[in-house]
């Protein structure tokens, strides 16, 4: 089990990256590239549940911790992801403390949660390490709640105070759209929302994360107290590289009269 949760609690800033191609090959490439963590995106990514196992296997021998964004807070989705060996789960589109509590309950075994017991799964070494895995879930499994709705902003303190919520993760695209300022990260409404999220997390002793689109913004958000910062995606790397090289080649074509 990679110690992403313990590193966050120790105050480290951890750089991450999205994986949305559903490819075990790009997962391995990114995992070996120097990121502290990667997020396999089952909400918007091209991959399916059947692709997840191969991506987690590819990441196992890399330094990067593996988080998975599920499609909803339904416990069945969360159970499947964790049984396959993910180091943590990100839950999107949360609108209330009640929904956040349901999401976290899906991560942990009773008495904190409602996760079903299955010993013969990859996460437990197919039964070999079940007791140690079960006892260590609270210390090792990362619970990430995305804050990207207006409703969630109204219940920040309640969400942040929930046991098992480790990170409040800002989703800039959805949050700015919900605020009616689509994509405007410099708008006072977004800046105020970020400040409120950071304050709620700090008061509860929790961490904050964010997805950024410009690596030059990394230091700014880190100085604000945000520890879990993602930038880039495997699909973006492929698309940008392909477009740049194709453009260079096309520019070099001999123009015939």
187 is catalytic: no
Partners of 168 in the β-ladder:
145, 208
The single residue of 44, 79, 108, 187 carrying the catalytic annotation is: 44
Task: Report helix, strand or coil for 147.
Answer: strand
Nearest by Cα to 146 from 112, 192, 185, 99: 99
Distance of CA 39 to the CA centre of its chain: 5
Angle (CA) 113 20 150, round 5°: 55
Residue in the structure block whose two tokens are 């999401």? 103
Q: What DSSP designation does 215 have?
A: G
Going by C-alpha positions, the residue among 195, 142, 197 that lies closest to residue 4 is 142
Q: Which residues are catalytic?
A: 44
């Amino acid at each position: 089990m990679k110690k992403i949760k313990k590193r966050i609690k120790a105050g480290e800033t951890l750089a991450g990256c999205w994986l949305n191609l559903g490819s075990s090959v790009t997962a391995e490439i990114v995992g070996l590239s120097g990121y502290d963590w990667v997020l396999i995106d089952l909400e918007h990514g091209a991959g399916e549940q059947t692709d997840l196992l191969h991506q987690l296997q590819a990441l196992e021998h890399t330094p990067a911790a593996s988080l998975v964004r599920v499609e909803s807070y339904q416990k069945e989705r969360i159970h499947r992801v964790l049984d396959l060996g993910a180091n943590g789960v990100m839950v999107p589109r949360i609108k209330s403390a009640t929904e956040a509590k349901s999401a976290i309950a899906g991560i942990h075994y009773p008495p904190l949660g409602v996760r079903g017991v299955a010993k013969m799964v990859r996460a437990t070494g197919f039964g070999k390490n079940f007791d140690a895995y079960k006892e260590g879930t609270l210390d090792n499994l990362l619970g990430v709640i995305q804050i990207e709705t207006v409703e969630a902003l109204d219940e920040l303190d309640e969400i942040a105070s929930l046991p098992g919520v480790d990170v409040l993760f800002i989703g800039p695209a959805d949050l700015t759209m919900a605020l009616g300022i689509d994509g405007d990260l410099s708008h006072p409404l977004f800046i105020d929302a970020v400040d409120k999220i950071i304050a709620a997390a700090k008061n509860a002793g929790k961490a904050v994360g964010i997805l950024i689109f410009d690596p030059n913004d990394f230091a700014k958000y880190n100085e604000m107290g945000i520890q879990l910062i993602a930038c880039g995606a495997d699909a973006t790397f492929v698309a940008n590289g392909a477009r740049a090289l194709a453009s260079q080649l096309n520019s070099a074509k001999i123009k015939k009269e």
